[in-house]
Amino acid sequence: MLRRRALAACTATVAVGALALAGLTGTASADPAPASSAPVAGAEQLSPGLLKAMQRDLGLTADRARARIGAESRAAAVAGGLRHSLGAGFAGARVSGDSAELTVATTDAADTARIAEAGARAVVVGHSLAELTSAKAALDRVALHRAPKDIPVWYVDVRTNRVVVEAGRGAAADTFLAAAGVSRELVTVGQAAGAPRTFTDLRGGDAYYMNGTGRCSIGFPVKRGTQGGFVSAGHCGTPGVSTSGYNQQAQGSFQGSTFPGRDYSWVAANTGWTPRPLVNGYGNGDVTVTGSTEALEGSSVCRSGSTTGWHCGTVQQRNSSVTYQEGTVSGVTRTNVCAEPGDSGGSFISGSQAQGVTSGGTGNCSQGGTTYFQPVNPALQAYGLTLVTSGTPTDPTDPTDPPTNPGGSWAAGTVYAAGDVVTYGSVSYRCLQGHQAQPGWTPVNVPALWQAL
């Protein structure tokens, strides 16, 4: 078994990018100059991907996107200078439109001339940014000790010159404000649109943790109906054991587990985790999963795991049996791919085809070794799961079913073993290679998987 039994402390490093603006070194002057129409340095070298996304989502041409970014950067430079020169009266700044028209708020009407001279529109308001920020900080301190119930979001809104608290119930907002000692005069209470959640991907080969007592690796993201999750090794956990993700955030719990005898399990994930048809290539690029057709003995196969990353070798023997300390596991596949503790449950993939989840073995990735994987199709079949794939068939023929379903017993999502016989239309077909049927992989379309009888 290759489950990591001891947790290692880890530190997540977040890289933060900063936009350096020409002329913003040192302290801002008391009288900032009006915004220049000169282009921002580096605007022509903007990422093509960023420009494409702006064209798609903001309806801009590439030239207009570059101009907008330049205008926003110049506005930020002016706002930075005004924030310094206005001091305690500064109440926030914002831009609007493609031209990034700058509006600067102040609590002192005497500042409006200075703001106008800098090329911005002045607005006089009742509360300084410092006052609003202080009120929000008081709310943050309360939430740090105990997350407020029915209060999913709060923030400083410089446009309305208020702290906005979104609440599921008005009474909950009153309790929150009272606990923080924040005046209702500073706050607008709004109706919460819903409970926010994190957006994190489930990806083969990534780490997950079990009840804080060990680490394994995700095999392949799956679904059962609308419920998302993943398959992994059975020895990693038993039903009811909770899991947290690579980022130590709550993830889900084991719904089914078999070990020994076989070595597979499935974990249902909460709505903060989205199953993706990907395997972590650990520096080699993510690999897209398109199906689960079994590779022949001698085929190349690669493994992804959270301890040793990405390693490859060949399939040696299928339908092997191996005895661990806990008992015998049958039906596993023997490979010459190395693995180490913590890699358990991780993905074995051949090309774009899911093969199985890491079970155990001998040796290590310094000297080499033998590793066994539990084939994925029996796990899918055992728990009624559907492998999450890109939906792209590997066969070059038309990937779509005929407009009219011809009928028969073949069905997408079903796991078929070599030798299984199905009907499609009026013809019977025998399965040539074990796989989970994907949309478009009909017997008539994929002769590599089906033989007409």
* pLDDT of residue 10 exceeding 50: no
- Residue bearing the bigger pLDDT, 156 or 2: 156
CA 152/CA 167 separation, integer angstroms:
7
Task: Return the minimum-mean-pLDDT range out of 51-60, 261-270, 430-439.
Answer: 51-60
pLDDT at position 169: 77
Report the DSSP beta bridge partners of residue 361. 371
Q: Is 344 a catalytic residue?
A: yes
Question: What span, in angstroms and rounded, lies between the C-alpha atoms of 261 and 267?
Answer: 19
- The catalytically annotated residue of 111, 263, 347, 350 is 263
pLDDT at 361 over 60: yes
Residue 378 tokens read as 């029996």
Nearest one of 448, 441, 374 to 414, comparing CA atoms:
441
The yes-or-no answer on residue 398 being catalytic is no
Q: What is the pLDDT of residue 441?
A: 82
Q: What is the pLDDT of residue 3?
A: 66
Burial of 98 (0-12, 13-18, 19+ CB in 10 A): middle
Dump pLDDT digits (tens) for 155-192: 899 999 999 998 887 788 999 999 999 999 999 998 87
- To the nearest whole percent, how much of the chain has pLDDT over 70? 85
Q: What phi, psi does 451 have (nearest 5°)?
A: -120, 125
Question: Measured between alpha carbons, how far is 219 from 207 in angstroms, rounded to an integer?
Answer: 10
Q: Which of 111, 128, 235, 350 is catalytic?
A: 235
**In this structure, what is the dihedral angle of CA atoms 161, 167, 170, 172, given to the nearest 10 degrees?**
-110
Question: Quick one: pLDDT band at residue 199, thresholds 50, 70, 90?
Answer: low
User: Would you call 263 a catalytic residue per the annotation?
Assistant: yes
* Chain segment 228-237, per-residue pLDDT in tens: 999 999 999 9
- Residue 330 binned pLDDT confidence (cut-offs 50, 70, 90): confident
CA–CA separation, 262 and 329 (whole Å): 5
Model pLDDT, residue 393 = 37
The predicted structure's pLDDT at residue 101: 92
> Is 366's pLDDT higher than 70?
yes
422 touches 408 (CB < 8 A): yes
- In this prediction, residue 69 has a pLDDT band, given cuts at 50, 70 and 90, of confident
Residue 414 has pLDDT above 60, yes or no: yes
Contacts with 6 (C-beta within 8 Å, 6 or more apart), sequence order: 214
Q: Is the pLDDT of residue 394 over 60?
A: no
Q: Which residues of 247-267 are buried (b: 16+ CB within 10 A; e: fewer)?
A: eeeebbbbbbbbbbebbbbbb
More confident position, 329 or 15: 329
Strands 162-167 and 153-157: antiparallel
Strands 121-124 and 101-106: parallel
- For the chain, give the secondary structure using H, E and C: CCCECCCCCCCCCCCCCCCCCCCCCCCCCCCCCCCCCCCCCCHHHCCHHHHHHHHHHHCCCHHHHHHHHHHHHHHHHHHHHHHHHHHHHEEEEEEECCCCEEEEEECCHHHHHHHHHCCCEEEECCCCHHHHHHHHHHHHHHHHHCCCCCCCEEEEECCCCEEEEEECCHHHHHHHHHHHCCCHHHEEEEECCCCCCCCEEEEECCEEEECCCCEEECCEEEEECCEEEEEECHHHCCCCCEEEECCCCEEEEEEEEECCECCEEEEEECCCEEEEEEECCCCCCCEECCECCCCCCCCEEEEEECCCEEEEEEEEEEEEEEEECCEEEEEEEEECCCCCCCCCCCEEEECCEEEEEEEEEEEECCCEEEEEEEEHHHHHHHHCCEECCCCCCCCCCCCCCCCCCCCECCCCCCEECCCCEEEECCEEEEECCCEECCCCCCCCCCCCCEEEC
Among candidates 364, 427, 370, 441, which has minimal Cα distance to 399?
441
Overall size of the chain counted in residues: 453
| Per-residue model confidence (pLDDT) at position 44 | 52
**Residue 442: predicted pLDDT:** 85
Task: Please report the pLDDT score of residue 59 as a whole number.
Answer: 86
What is the residue-averaged pLDDT of the chain?
Answer: 84
pLDDT per residue over 18-65, tens digit each? Answer: 222 222 222 333 444 444 444 443 445 566 767 777 787 788 888 888
Of 85, 232, 253, 344, the catalytic one is 344
Asked whether residue 132 carries a pLDDT value surpassing 50, the answer given is yes
